[in-house]
Amino acid sequence: MIKRNLDASLIPFLSSIIGIILKAALFISVAGMIGIEMTSFVAILGAAGLAVGLALQGTLQNFAGGVMLLLFKPFKVGDVLSAQGFTGSVKEIQIFNTIMATPDNRIIIIPNGGLANSAMTNFSTMDTRRVDFSFGIGYDDDFEKAKSLIRSLIDADSRILKILSRLLE
């Protein structure tokens, strides 16, 4: 898993799941070698697994969503997201939920099941972002003076792409 550059938070989780599955398979095969009838035991395990799965349906959905988010990485810690009606900076991606901090310093915990299955906007993916401004100019105002004032403000701000200032010409 390390050679495949798997996410560090996913390695211990997958290791423990694989270990549990291998131990269960070992137990079943050893019990079959001893002479214990395994068909009824496996049927009981299957029924118990189905009951537990139905009881934990929401939790398992969040778990599966967490695995999908960790594998496909649509966002990372530090990205600014808008999802599930909330906008904030991702502080932590856990296996069952994602923790975000809003601009007004509230902590939002979003279940990964809904996050993985709904639309989200990642504001941090692209280096630049377009921001639209509207300026109102009265009929009696000097249009050329307003235009030159806006152009001087654009030229003075280093955060504005200079190619956009030509649009005012």
**Domain coordinates in residue numbering, the chain:** 72-122, 127-169
pLDDT at residue 79, rounded to an integer: 92
Share of the chain above pLDDT 90, in %: 21
Tell whether the model's pLDDT for residue 86 goes beyond 90.
yes
Helix axes 38-55, 11-34, angle to 10 degrees: 150
Mean pLDDT of 71-92: 91
pLDDT digits (tens, 9 = 90+) for 16-47: 778 888 998 898 888 888 887 777 777 888 88
- For residue 104, the surrounding DSSP H or E stretch is none
pLDDT at residue 39, rounded to an integer: 79
Radius of gyration from C-alpha coordinates of the chain: 27
Please give the DSSP secondary-structure letter assigned to residue 125. Answer: S
Average pLDDT across the chain, whole number:
84
pLDDT band for 111, please (50, 70, 90 cuts): very high
pLDDT at residue 112, rounded to an integer: 92
Domain topology for 72-122:
SH3 type barrels. (2.30.30)
10 Å CB burial of residue 115 (0-12, 13-18, 19+) is buried
Q: Is the pTM of this model over 0.75?
A: no
